[in-house]
Amino acid sequence: MRHLDYVAAADANAALQRLSAKPQEAAPIGGGTNLLDLMKLHVQNPAVLVDINGLPLSQVREVEGGGLRIGALVRNSDLAQHPLVRERYPVLSEALLAGASPQLRNMATLGGNILQRTRCAYFRDVSQACNKREPGSGCAALDGYNRMHAVLGVSDKCIAANPSDMNVALAALDASVHVQGLKGERSVPFIDFHLVPGTHPDKESVLQPEELITGVTLPASGFAARSRYVKVRDRAAYAFALTSAAVALELEGTTVKAARVALGGVGTKPWRSKEAEAALVGKPADEVHFKAAAEAALKGAKPRTHNAFKVDLARRTLVRALSLTAGIA
Ligand code: SF4
């Protein structure tokens, strides 16, 4: 049996002190829905769990100008049902409700969901080669069964898809992530927070081992209230995305004034498509231009043996999300 220490942190400073003392061996735990799963599989083996549930990070509050600041410990269920989220950022509410099961959403936190790790079966099986879990060991998915894997942002070291629905919505909403370390706080644009695998798939985000996510800010915008999330999966509930799309549109009459587009299930990180957005702005909100945006979004796709179907499925998912958002579906 492995020895495991547990400490309940009284405040952020205490948590950061414990994390900094053994950055490679300590792990913060909030809802634990992903971490405990991976510990049971021996994929993550922390020597000490730092419980951060006592930190005052469970609030959703308005910020100047009409945006929202969401604490890192806000549970996914609470966030999905929050009246201001439903009213101002419906895409976020829909994405959260599309993820996991009610029981998991009741436990899972905003911060943990941002850091949710891939569902690549080879990553979760310690007998398999995996550069993400064990740098330099290889990637069993490249020539293995890769139906669920990514087609955008891939490298010859890793093709794992980011599994979070919520992350796709946050990428579309121009969110910022707030991070605290012992030396102070910093904010990172959400679309820069996660990293593509490149030659170091083990490095998944810009978060340092001795830092904590404290929250997310959603800015006010002209497009967020008109936003939708569409997810395609193998069964109707409790399944990860084959493809998904988070879309927000600001319309002037029938012309697109501003657009935000992000894709899920196809990217190694939550995949914001500025190419699709550029193809939409100034154009009529119709099927012809939605299809052109979908072409632009998937232009750089690099499918493998079993996931080529995702390219066209992602295009169709995006057209569907745009049509629903524009009210023409
Ligand atoms: Fe590991 Fe990434 Fe390859 Fe999956 S795709 S086996 S996570 S390196």
Chain segment 215-249, per-residue pLDDT in tens: 999 999 999 999 999 999 999 999 999 999 999 99
* d(CA 162, ligand 1 centre) in Å: 11
d(CA 314, CA 329): 17
| Phi, psi dihedrals of residue 228, rounded to the nearest 5° | -140, 155
Dump pLDDT digits (tens) for 105-146: 999 999 999 999 999 999 999 999 999 999 999 999 999 999
- Whole-number pLDDT of residue 134: 98
Dump pLDDT digits (tens) for 159-178: 999 999 999 999 999 999 99
| Phi, psi dihedrals of residue 149, rounded to the nearest 5° | -85, 175
Dump pLDDT digits (tens) for 46-56: 999 999 999 99
d(CA 266, CA 219): 26
Domains and CATH numbers, the chain: 5-51 (3.30.43.10), 227-326 (3.30.390.50)
* d(CA 159, ligand 1 centre) in Å: 6
Average the pLDDT over 197-214 and give the result: 97
- Whole-number pLDDT of residue 2: 84
Q: Which atom of ligand 1 is nearest to the CA of 146?
A: 5
Q: Which amino acid is at 206?
A: V
Return the percent helix, strand and coil in the chain, to nearest 5. 30, 25, 50
Pocket of ligand 1 (CB under 6 A): 118, 120, 122-123, 130-132, 139-141, 158-160, 201
Neighbours of 65 (CB within 10 A): 7
Residue of 41, 118, 152 best suited for mutating to test ligand 1, as the one with most atoms within 8 Å of CB: 118
- Whole-number pLDDT of residue 176: 98
Residue nearest to atom 3 of ligand 1 (CA): 139
Q: Which atom of ligand 1 is nearest to the CA of 138?
A: 8
Residue 2, sorted as left (phi over 0), alpha (psi -120 to 50) or beta, turns out to be: beta
Average the pLDDT over 17-31 and give the result: 94
Q: Which amino acid is at 100?
A: A
Q: Which atom of ligand 1 is nearest to the CA of 131?
A: 8
d(CA 66, CA 218): 9
Six-digit token pair at 285? 């909100």
d(CA 270, CA 4): 33
- Whole-number pLDDT of residue 22: 85
Q: DSSP labels for 30-63?
A: SS-TTHHHHHHTTS---SEEEE-TTSS---EEE-
Residue of 38, 122, 128 best suited for mutating to test ligand 1, as the one with most atoms within 8 Å of CB: 122
Residue nearest to atom 1 of ligand 1 (CA): 130
Six-digit token pair at 240? 């990860």
Q: Residue 278's pLDDT band (boundaries 50, 70, 90)? A: very high
Six-digit token pair at 99? 């993820």
Burial class (CB in 10 A: 0-12, 13-18, 19+), 54: middle
